[in-house]
Amino acid sequence: MNTATSDPSSTLLENLPSLLPKLEALYKDVHAHPELSMQENRTAALVARHLLDYAYEVTTEVGKTGVIGLLRNGEGHTVMLRADMDALPVREASGVDYASTVMATDAAGNTVPVAHACGHDMHVAWLMGAASLFSQRREAWRGTLMVVFQPGEETAQGARAMIEDGLFTRFPKPDVVLGQHVMVGPAGTVAGSAGPITSAADSLQIRLFGRGAHGSMPQASVDPVVMAAAIVLRLQTIVSREVAATDAAVVTVGVLQAGTKENVIPDEAIIKLNIRTFDEGVRKHVLAAIERIVNAEAQASGAPRAPEITPLDRYPLNVNDKQASDRIAEALRRHFTPDRVRHTGPAPASEDFGCFGSEWNAPSVYWFVGGTDPDIYAKAKAAGRINDLPVNHSPFFAPVIHPTLQTGVEAMVAGALAWLAK
């Protein structure tokens, strides 16, 4: 930690070393007890109790399971810090001694394994740490801190649910909205940039209709499996042949479901796919191309009915405000050594964080914190094998606790103090 007197966070962070053991225990507890999107009841209760212990005005059940804490400390700016709380339907294989063994019932009624394979448990611990420090050292800052623990980020429900539950009318409008995410990268480093920082995302379900028959009599069928296979292959040509090399897009088919028995040609097939883009024009073109390809293939196959294309969820493009990003970058460079603050381009991952700033008409900034053991990352980079490292949503993903935990708390504090310092 940089303790130069020019760094306004140095006073506020003096209590962090003594707080870290408690934060580590909280992190391991949340990691071992993950909860699916919009089911974060245990995590929300844990957060609410923590905030009450530190004298925050606490409001629970915002957008179903969201928690908001307000700490008013005189006249000044209002800063919103956000952390997401939900986990994924993934069976953890990280091997850590606090790994999740939780099973839960998802929204469709299925029993699924649950794990914090995206790092939201780390986000919760970071924000709980920052909230604690601001409460302990009020003499070091002025204004209002609003900490938001959001449900349902993984399903693009949570930010929208909080907004629809009166977030904009029940709580003070922030002068800036700040958030961060643990990602693959050397632990102890932070990275960000102005402009687009995470992609827009659209998820679709395509239902294809065929005509079932015996597996030995394909001439009596309209085979939706063949139809689906042709569509999956053709969809990959959208990015390679319809999107300019100077633009960026990703089209991923994550689900292909059809049939129940090897000698029965089914009468339906389901495709679920995900699209990531950084430009609205590119987004519209990709969506139109998907519709064109799906309908054309169904027609070419002689399908008895036109396909059904159903939107599943959508994440907006997340754009960092230029002036606020410059202010954050300056604060982080002042606090950390220069080699720990890096510039990064936009990530293909998606977030509903951007809804808060864009719809509240407030500047927002989102950045990344490395969570990979620095030695492991350096060796992988030297060998040209960074892509072999477990990424977010992998069953093997588990950030190294130290120095990731401390770095994230410090970054949140330094960022918020860019507006709240006296």
Single-letter residue type at 403: P
355 is in an annotated binding site: no
CA atoms within 13 A on the CB side of 285: 17
- What is the spatial distance between Cα 325 and Cα 309, in angstroms, rounded to a whole number? 38
Return the residue matching tokens 């409001």: 59
d(CA 106, CA 109): 5
Report whether 173 contacts 364 (CB < 8 A): no
Q: Is the distance from CB of 39 to CB of 112 less than 8 angstroms?
A: no
Whole-number Å distance between alpha carbons of 404 and 188: 6
**Is the bond leading into 403 cis (omega within 30 degrees of zero)?**
yes
What number of residues does the chain have?
422
Write out the two tokens for 191.
């990275």
Please identify every residue annotated as catalytic: 84, 154
Q: Which amino acid is at 118?
A: C
> Residue 120, annotated ligand binder?
yes
Bridge partners of residue 81, in order along the sequence: 147, 178
Q: How far apart are CA 10 and CA 25, in angstroms?
A: 24
Q: Are 225 and 405 in contact (CB under 8 A)?
A: no
Q: State whether residue 95 is helix, strand or coil.
A: coil
Buried/exposed 178-205: b ≥16 CB within 10 Å, e otherwise: bbbbbbbbbbbbbbbbbebbbbbbbbbe
Helical pair 401-420 and 120-136, crossing angle rounded to 10 deg? 50
Per residue, the 3-state secondary structure of 205-256, as one string, reads EEEEECECEECCCHHHCECHHHHHHHHHHHHHHHHHHHCCCCCCEEEEEEEE
Question: Is 33 labelled a binding residue?
Answer: no
Q: Is 181 annotated as a binding residue?
A: yes
Q: Tokens 């394909």 correspond to what residue?
A: 218
DSSP state letters, 9-74: HHHHGGGHHHHHHHHHHHHHHHHHS---TT--HHHHHHHHHHHHHTT-EEEEEETTTEEEEEEEES
Q: Which two tokens stand for residue 95?
A: 């091997």
Which residues fall in the annotated binding site for Mn(2+)?
A: 118, 120, 154, 181
Which residues fall in the annotated binding site?
A: 118, 120, 154, 181
